[in-house]
Amino acid sequence: MFPLLALPIAYMLGSIPSAVWVAKIYKGIDIREHGSKNAGLTNVFRVLGWKPAIPVILVDLSKGFFAVFIAKMLNDSQVYEWLPIAAGLLAIFGHSFTCLAGFRGGKGVLTALGVFLALQPALALTCFAFWGILFAITKYVSVASIGACVMLATLATLGFVSDILPVYNLDIYILILSWLVSVFVVVKHKANMVRLWNGTENGFGKKRKI
């Protein structure tokens, strides 16, 4: 049962409310009461600037990465093949529903990136590159995040059902996680999608028509 300790560890790692703590330390405010009221990187950047955003990036990425890394270390005998996948999912849930900040967290995009960097770096970097392209074109973080999730699920499916993308070397566990994470993150962006439809979503720089 010792490897299963990776699961509560993963949730607690994910539950570190970096945006909430950084905003409190840096400015003495609850970031969830300002800007978009989301406890995530984008809101920290908009409300407080780039300096406090840096530790948020580092912590949120590390949470996902080390949740999977620890699960792999504890599961070195490969008794539970699904353990790193479950640990990654729990880290993302912990980020969004953190027990250390009233179960009000962020959307999980950065933590998910950390998870996939530990599980499948090629897939993670491809989706991150796609995120960057979408953001550069639209100037909307939400559009880039939703698009990257769609790309994640699409590439995971293609990599699993065919040999078109052998570089990804995906298995059923990665496929399931990709779809779960994609659906979860898109649902978490429901309010953003409403604002995009209404033309009231905040973008960076000059807004572009979607």
pLDDT digits (tens, 9 = 90+) for 9-33: 999 999 999 999 999 999 999 999 9
Q: Indicate the helix (H) or strand (E) that contains 106.
A: none
Q: How far, in Å, CA of 19 to CA of 6, rounded? A: 24
Q: How far, in Å, CA of 12 to CA of 116, rounded? A: 18
Query: How wide is the angle at C-alpha 106 spanned by C-alphas 7 and 97, nearest 5°?
Result: 45
**pLDDT score for 171:** 83
Question: Is 6's pLDDT higher than 80?
Answer: yes
**pLDDT score for 167:** 56
pLDDT digits (tens, 9 = 90+) for 126-167: 999 999 999 999 999 999 999 999 999 999 988 887 766 655
Question: Is 209's pLDDT higher than 50?
Answer: no
**pLDDT score for 159:** 82
User: Which ranges in the chain belong to alpha helices (H)?
Assistant: 6-14, 18-27, 41-48, 50-74, 83-96, 109-119, 121-138, 141-161, 172-188, 190-198
More confident residue, 113 or 200: 113
pLDDT digits (tens, 9 = 90+) for 57-84: 999 999 999 999 999 999 887 778 899 9
Question: Is 206's pLDDT higher than 70?
Answer: no
Question: Is 207's pLDDT higher than 90?
Answer: no
What 3-state class would DSSP assign to 6?
A: helix
Q: What is the pTM of this model?
A: 0.91
pLDDT digits (tens, 9 = 90+) for 78-137: 778 899 999 999 999 999 999 999 999 999 999 999 999 999 998 999 999 999 999 999
